[in-house]
Structure 1
Amino acid sequence: MVLPKVTAQTSDDNYKEPIVKTIKTIESIFKITIDDKDGLLKEKELEYARWRIRQDNLEVSLTAVLTPFNLTYFKENDSVYRIRKFEYARNSDAVGKARLEYLADLYPSLKAWETRKADLKSCIITSIGLDKAPAMPNKKPILTKVRKYGNYTVENIGLEIMPGVFATGSIYKPYPLKGKAPLVITPNGHFGDGRYRKDEQLRCAILAKMGAVVVNFDLFAWGESTLQFDSTLHRQSIAQTIQVLSAERLLDYMLSQKYIDKNRVGVTGGSGGGSMTMFLAAIDDRITVSVPVVMTSSHFSGGCPCESGRGLHLCGNGTNNAEIAAMAAPKPQLIISDGGDWTATVPELEFPFIQKTYGLYGNKELVENAHFAKEGHNYGESKRMAMYPFMAKHLGLDSNKVKNSKGEIDESSCVIEAYEKMYVFGAKGEKLPANALKDINQLYALFGEKNLKQ
């Protein structure tokens, strides 16, 4: 490689030079290629540029010259590095690996892990803001007429989780409902139509057919929640608070029902719902089984503020979703991943780390990974078919009730409802209670906060 031509520089101009020239110097020193195909370095100049280079450390050098511009790098392979905009929630898998190695050294024993787990749990609760949430009003939920579909039923629920703030969803129950049934809560992710989409309805119906009571609910400023808060507000950090709080208070209500078995409580969701699945299993001891789908990663904590906006990943001087998933130990957990997103590294990277944490309890076998290397980011049929038997095994469900003559779980008998049937407050929101809060600033005020995005 030809060395870049050195031009005279002095302290008179603070040793300023174009950053593309500094990058060429780094390429020459470390004999690598730095890819800036997005043109992020164009027309940028850096003071004290070459003074920032550490000739013995490539990563330190790149960090020093890129950080002033909110840029970072991803290692593509041993000889190619790519320039990217800095994203607080996203890193390279190499960084994820280094972090997991660091975290594993923090707790070589069960006692050390339990101490860290307790600290993380307390911090996560505080970061989300659950400790500042107003009490749930002592009011009965709004329940719609029950629809019966063979061996399961569906009804919609509007639960006032705080004064004027409603969580909206649907409750699926086995029919007839005899004795005490396990409960499964299914937070939905950013998949198109949320809880109204076909895939979402199918998994709720099948779980109900197998014997579980299932609750699915809208994201904040999504679905019927938009009757109160415009969809543009979904990307504010308060969304994370309301979504986790909705799950917690739906759990409070459902677990108060005599027909629910409090010792059998599952949670599963994909994408953003996978994030909530991990959070709930980490902080709520009532959860006994969890199945986070296409979200467990050491190097990505969710691109939406509704997943990462409250800073909970800063807890414990830095954590990630792999460690948060490990907090479910020693309770049964199935981690579902695929080859087309940030969970592609789970079999080699995140799962061994989580399994090691389970091993501190002597229960490595209670955490499993179903990996679909040729699939992408979804909660599709193959992933549901991995989830069903796991839930059946650990919640005491009867999968024979949903199998066809070939012994396969058959979703074809499930009824896919029209959106209108799943609404709590009517097709046009005409039944929305008069006290429903619609001011985002007032919502923040309920937590003693100010809306900084005004």
Structure 2
Amino acid sequence: MSISTERLRTLLGFVDTELCLEAHETEDCGSYVVERLRFRSRHDQSEIRGFLTRPPGSDEPWPAILYAHAHGGRYDIGAGELIDGRPALLSPPGPLLAEHGFVTLCIDMPTFGERAIVTESAATKAALWYGRTLFGQMLGEQRAALTWLSSRDDVDPNRVGMTGISMGATLSYFLPALDERIAAIAHLCCYADFATLIELGAHDLHGQYLTMPGLLSLTSTGMIAGMVAPRPQLICVGFDDPLTPPSAVLRAFMETSKAYATKDAEEMLKLLEEDGVGHRETEAMRAAVLEFFKRHL
């Protein structure tokens, strides 16, 4: 089952928007710089908090990463994950990425961080009643964040990647399927065939944000990730993670691999699977992600 980019956008109820910067504060943390940002969404005029980390000093164009935060039932964290981390991560990713020469942006998704004044359930129902999806809104805002990030003078727009763990991982392969500006992606702990999750009874572990009516009648996780081909993609999973059981991962990877083979780009697709690892980042995953972005951005 193949699906066009336009058909996928329609199915998602994709919401196009623009982020207008309204406030900006900078803090020099020595080995990296933090920028605290306030945006206004053109779509619904909501205020969106963002954090950006970057190397200090030089204004030369750097490679950049759009970082999508996780879910984990921690609606209070949101974009703060970039600079404060979360239990599933080894340490905050923003400072580390800045120290390795990357400008990295993360924004609050709807119902998370400072936007947790609306529940995920309420936001999901409202979007569906209007013929849209909450996930489509999230993707639209991530795309707007990509546009803003790519427009910065200190960012090379041809070297922008995307990464995230859990919900952030799902955003990190759906958005590049819709937007070719993302040059490379690395995602952790949320790549699995949805139909297989249903067969295993594991699908209800996902949040309501991921409700996309009709998705599996038209396409699959593996095929959507395959739409990223021939761009570089690193997939990291733990086989003791209930969101990524081996049979669901391997079924999805078979489809994604086929898409990469069609583009003669098999070497651009990598899968790092770890036995005995649950829903968390590992040292091996972190090392692989850093090496991946250094090579491809």
TM-score range (shorter-chain normalised) is 0.7 to 0.9
One-letter amino acid of the counterpart of residue 179, structure 1? E
CA distance change for structure 1 residues 233 and 382 in 2, over 3 Å: closer, same or farther?
A: farther
Alignment map for 1:15-54 (pairs within 5 Å): none
Asked if 1:149 corresponds to 2:149, the answer is no
One-letter amino acid of the counterpart of residue 6, structure 2? S
Alignment map for 1:400-415 (pairs within 5 Å): none
Asked if 1:213 corresponds to 2:114, the answer is no
Alignment partners' CA distance in 1, 2:70 and 2:123: 12
Structure 1 residue aligned with 2:296: 394
Q: What stretches of structure 1 of length at least 5 have no aligned partner? A: 1-102, 104-115, 396-454
Q: Contact 2:69 / 2:168 at 8 angstroms: preserved in 1?
A: yes
Secondary structure in 2 matching 1:146: strand
Secondary structure in 2 matching 1:124: helix
CA distance change for structure 1 residues 356 and 232 in 2, over 3 Å: closer, same or farther?
A: closer
Structure 1 residue aligned with 2:200: none
Alignment partners' CA distance in 2, 1:257 and 1:220: 24
Alignment map for 1:317-328 (pairs within 5 Å): 317-328=217-228
Q: CA deviation at 1:209?
A: 1.2
Q: Contact 2:120 / 2:208 at 8 angstroms: preserved in 1?
A: no
Secondary structure in 1 matching 2:4: helix
Equivalent of residue 338 in structure 1, options 226, 238, 250: 238
Structure 2 residue aligned with 1:265: 160
Q: Contact 1:159 / 1:168 at 8 angstroms: preserved in 2?
A: yes
Q: Contact 1:278 / 1:290 at 8 angstroms: preserved in 2?
A: yes
Equivalent of residue 53 in structure 2, options 147, 153, 172: 172
Q: What stretches of structure 2 of length at least 5 have no aligned partner? A: 128-132, 198-202
State the identity as a percent.
22
Alignment partners' CA distance in 1, 2:100 and 2:275: 28
Structure 1 residue aligned with 2:256: 354
Q: CA deviation at 1:128?
A: 2.3
Asked if 1:373 corresponds to 2:246, the answer is no
Alignment partners' CA distance in 2, 1:176 and 1:311: 47
Equivalent of residue 304 in structure 1, options 207, 212, 217: 207
Structure 2 residue aligned with 1:120: 4
Q: CA deviation at 1:378?
A: 2.1
CA distance change for structure 1 residues 248 and 141 in 2, over 3 Å: closer, same or farther?
A: farther
Alignment map for 1:27-106 (pairs within 5 Å): 103=1
Alignment map for 1:424-435 (pairs within 5 Å): none
Structure 2 residue aligned with 1:385: 287
CA distance change for structure 1 residues 306 and 369 in 2, over 3 Å: closer, same or farther?
A: same
Q: CA deviation at 1:152?
A: 1.0
Alignment partners' CA distance in 1, 2:158 and 2:62: 10
Q: CA deviation at 1:235?
A: 4.5
CA distance change for structure 1 residues 219 and 180 in 2, over 3 Å: closer, same or farther?
A: same
Structure 2 residue aligned with 1:97: none
Secondary structure in 1 matching 2:109: coil
Secondary structure in 2 matching 1:379: coil
Q: CA deviation at 1:379?
A: 3.1
Report Cα offsets for 1:181-212 as digits up to 9, x if no partner: 11201111113334334246621221111111
Q: CA deviation at 1:223?
A: 0.8
CA distance change for structure 1 residues 372 and 195 in 2, over 3 Å: closer, same or farther?
A: farther
Q: Contact 1:128 / 1:312 at 8 angstroms: preserved in 2?
A: no
One-letter amino acid of the counterpart of residue 128, structure 1? L
Alignment partners' CA distance in 2, 1:158 and 1:123: 32
Q: Contact 2:222 / 2:251 at 8 angstroms: preserved in 1?
A: no
* TM-score, length-scaled by structure 2: 0.82
Q: Contact 2:238 / 2:276 at 8 angstroms: preserved in 1?
A: yes
One-letter amino acid of the counterpart of residue 241, structure 1? G
Secondary structure in 2 matching 1:140: strand
Secondary structure in 1 matching 2:145: helix
Q: Contact 1:124 / 1:312 at 8 angstroms: preserved in 2?
A: no
Which structure has more relative contact order (CA 8 Å, sep 6+)? It is 2
Larger CA deviation: 201-210 vs 378-387: 378-387
Report Cα offsets for 1:31-81 as digits up to 9, x if no partner: xxxxxxxxxxxxxxxxxxxxxxxxxxxxxxxxxxxxxxxxxxxxxxxxxxx
Secondary structure in 2 matching 1:186: strand
Q: CA deviation at 1:265?
A: 1.0
Q: CA deviation at 1:126?
A: 1.5
